């Protein structure tokens, strides 16, 4: 009797983990053709993005980033600084690894934008959809990232495809939330004025609400990019090549120096992407 008071009774314990594993594995076997097609499409898209990045000469890419940094910030020294930071990545011998990492990040951000933007609009316009989707978003945001990796690997094996899926699940949440927040908090008087002039709900959405909420939506895009970058090292655990894999290999070999350099390069890429997108947000707010 004392054991029941001190320890949780074993008779009340149950294990649903095994049942979930069996279901996922059987679902994967039954729909193998579908998952193979998805995997081929994902790998093709990532390879396409990587090809586009690799055909750009290294000096031209640095020049493009310098010009973007200058134009967005309005300061030439900022553009020069971004160029110098990218040049440093090349001197570390990690240019190709950086492009591989960027390919996965860009693909996941595009997928997050394509899926998250309409979902954010749906939540903003439909209260019933909001009640269903918001708890799912809370679950996605609080769930440990490693949990995403297991079903992704079961369904798609190891490699770039599960990495893209896990990254998208992790990074799509701010895109949905900020899109919904921006549209919901558009000035009601502006919306009412558009409706008074005979605009339909779709016209109000496209011509009034989305343009008014664009700075908030761009903030969501910025957060999505940052969260996708934060998954780089985690996705290396399931075979995603790039800077994360270099860190993982160096960590397994306990080579601190070799782990430090790709880590710094990830920080550099994240800073550049963050500052460029934040600059776009500020420009939208000024407009």
- The least confident of 7-11, 59-63, 67-71, 241-245 is 7-11
The whole-model pTM stands at 0.88
Tokens of 80: 């020069």
Q: Which domains does the chain have, with CATH numbers?
A: 22-55+92-286 (1.10.3720.10)
Q: In this model, does residue 175 exceed pLDDT 90? A: yes
C-alpha dihedral (87, 93, 98, 100), degrees to nearest 10: 140
CA dist 53 to 56, 87, 102, 106, Å?
6, 16, 9, 11
Residue labelled with tokens 């000035």: 187
> CA 281, 71, 232, 53 torsion: positive or negative?
positive
31 — phi, psi (to 5°)?
-115, 35
Average pLDDT score, the chain? 87
- Grouping H, G, I as helix, E, B as strand and the rest as coil, residue 213 is coil
* Average pLDDT of the segment spanning 64-81: 92
Could you give the CA distance from residue 185 to residue 176 in angstroms, rounded to a whole number?
14
Provide the percentage of residues in the chain whose pLDDT is more than 90: 38
């Amino acid at each position: 009797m004392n054991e029941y008071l001190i320890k949780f009774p074993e008779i009340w314990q149950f294990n649903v983990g095994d049942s979930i594993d069996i279901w996922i594995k059987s679902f994967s076997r039954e729909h193998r053709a579908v998952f193979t097609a998805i995997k081929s499409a994902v790998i093709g898209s990532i390879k396409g993005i990587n090809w586009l990045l690799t055909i750009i000469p290294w000096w031209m890419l640095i020049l493009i980033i310098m010009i973007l940094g200058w134009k967005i910030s309005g300061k030439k020294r900022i553009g020069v600084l971004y160029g110098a930071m990218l040049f440093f990545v090349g001197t570390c011998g990690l240019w190709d690894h950086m492009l591989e990492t960027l390919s996965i990040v860009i693909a996941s951000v595009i997928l997050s934008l394509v899926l998250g933007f309409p979902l954010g609009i749906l939540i903003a316009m439909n209260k019933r959809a909001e009640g269903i989707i918001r708890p799912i978003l809370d679950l996605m945001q609080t769930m440990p990232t490693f949990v995403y990796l297991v079903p992704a690997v079961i369904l798609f094996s190891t490699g770039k495809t599960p990495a893209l899926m896990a990254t998208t699940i992790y990074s799509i949440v701010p895109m949905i939330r900020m899109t919904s927040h921006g549209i919901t908090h558009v000035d009601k008087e502006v919306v009412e004025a558009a409706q008074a002039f005979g605009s339909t709900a779709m016209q109000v959405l496209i011509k009034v609400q989305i343009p008014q909420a664009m700075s908030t939506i761009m903030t969501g895009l910025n957060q999505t990019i940052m969260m996708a970058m934060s998954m780089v090292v985690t996705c290396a655990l399931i075979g995603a090549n790039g800077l994360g894999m270099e860190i993982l290999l160096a960590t397994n070999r306990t080579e601190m120096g070799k782990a430090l350099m790709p880590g710094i390069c990830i920080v550099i890429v994240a800073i550049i992407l963050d500052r460029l997108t934040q600059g776009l947000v500020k420009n939208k707010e000024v407009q």
